[in-house]
Amino acid sequence: MTAEWLLPLIWAGIIGAAVALYVILDGFDLGVGMLFPFAKDDRERSQMMASIAPFWDGNETWLVMGGAGLLVAFPLAYAILMPALYLPVIVMLLALVFRGVAFEFRELGARKSLWSAVFAGGSAVAALSQGVILAGMIQGIRVENGAFAGGALDWATPFALLCALGVPCGYALLGATWLVMKTDGPVAERARTQAKPLLVAVLLFVAAVSLWTPFAFPRIAERWFSLPNILYLWPVPLLTALTALVAWRALVRGRSATPFACSIGLFLLGYLGLVISSFPYLVPPSLTIWDTAAAPTSQSFMLIGTLVLLPVILAYTAYVYWVFRGRIGPGESYH
């Protein structure tokens, strides 16, 4: 077991965890943004925003962590993925710019509805772009001589369209169940009603991706359906179905935290499924985590700091969530 073999594996784990955290954490606040148009009035929207205002900045930092982590540990993958997914990445970033400033601008401005629309639109476009980026990383990227060798629109496929609709749907589910847990009154009730069709839609998208990918990409079919893999992997879809069932019952029975927990569970299972499909390829179908890894000295220099700092970050992130615990009532806002 050499450092050249072990370090990329550890880093894949760290970045994988950071991306999972990002998807869940920013997922729910992007989802809340996408549910903005369905609120009754600006007072309700302020209540929704108050439920995420203390958290969004920290949540989005996991995206920076994902990008910086990729540059740290797998610079070659970073250098291939960014040009390959150039347009969706830039569009996502600009959408995040809009929705990020909308938090403050909406509170300060007289034209609340304008910045509400910007917030909702920015959230939706960011989620949609992330769906396209996800698709790009599953369907593969053309690489020659260690550099991206495709065109600017290579990512635009029917499969990308499927993911571009699926990811926002999933984020909206996270956002709705977050509101069920973190707000009171009509906002929470409406979110509970919205969560049910969203849950069904998410399951349909999960099923569609699960069927599409093995048919379209033989390497994924082989990963899942060859022996003995299938013997180990069959619990993944089963657990997904069970989690969805628990989520549905919790929504019907008026539970507050269980639907959000189950939505996180669904995301983690879906994520696990994608990792199983792609591992160890970081730039499928050609480059693995070992092909794109940074120098061991760089990975270990950063690993020391990460092992010290990451627990501290998780601790104070948890503390911030604890400080702002409890539900936001109707008419409440932080400003």
Residues near another protein (CB under 8 A) are 53-55, 57-58, 60-61, 63-65, 67-73, 75-76, 78-83, 86-87, 89-91, 93-94, 96-98, 100-101, 103-105, 108-109, 144-149, 151-152, 294-295, 297-298, 301-302, 305-306, 309-310, 313, 316-317, 319-320, 323-324, 334
Q: Rounded to an integer, what distance in angstroms lies between the CA atom of residue 213 and that of residue 160?
A: 11
Strand partners, 281: 288
Residue 43 Cβ vs another protein, minimum distance, rounded to whole Å: 18
Q: Please tell me whether residue 183 adopts helix, strand or coil conformation.
A: strand
Pick the closer one to another protein by CB: 64 or 252.
64
Q: Rounded to an integer, what distance in angstroms lies between the CA atom of residue 19 and that of residue 249?
A: 29
Q: How far is CA 21 from CA 38, 58, 98, 277, in A?
A: 27, 11, 22, 20
Residue 17 Cβ vs another protein, minimum distance, rounded to whole Å: 13
Q: Rounded to an integer, what distance in angstroms lies between the CA atom of residue 271 and that of residue 206?
A: 10
Residue 214 Cβ vs another protein, minimum distance, rounded to whole Å: 30
* H or E element, residue 109: none
- N residues, the chain: 335
Q: Please tell me whether residue 249 adopts helix, strand or coil conformation.
A: helix
Q: Please tell me whether residue 147 adopts helix, strand or coil conformation.
A: strand
Residue 236 Cβ vs another protein, minimum distance, rounded to whole Å: 31
Dihedral pair phi/psi, residue 294, rounded to 5°: -75, 170
Pick the closer one to another protein by CB: 259 or 284.
284
Residue 180 Cβ vs another protein, minimum distance, rounded to whole Å: 22
Rg of the chain on CA atoms, in Å: 20
Residue 9 Cβ vs another protein, minimum distance, rounded to whole Å: 18
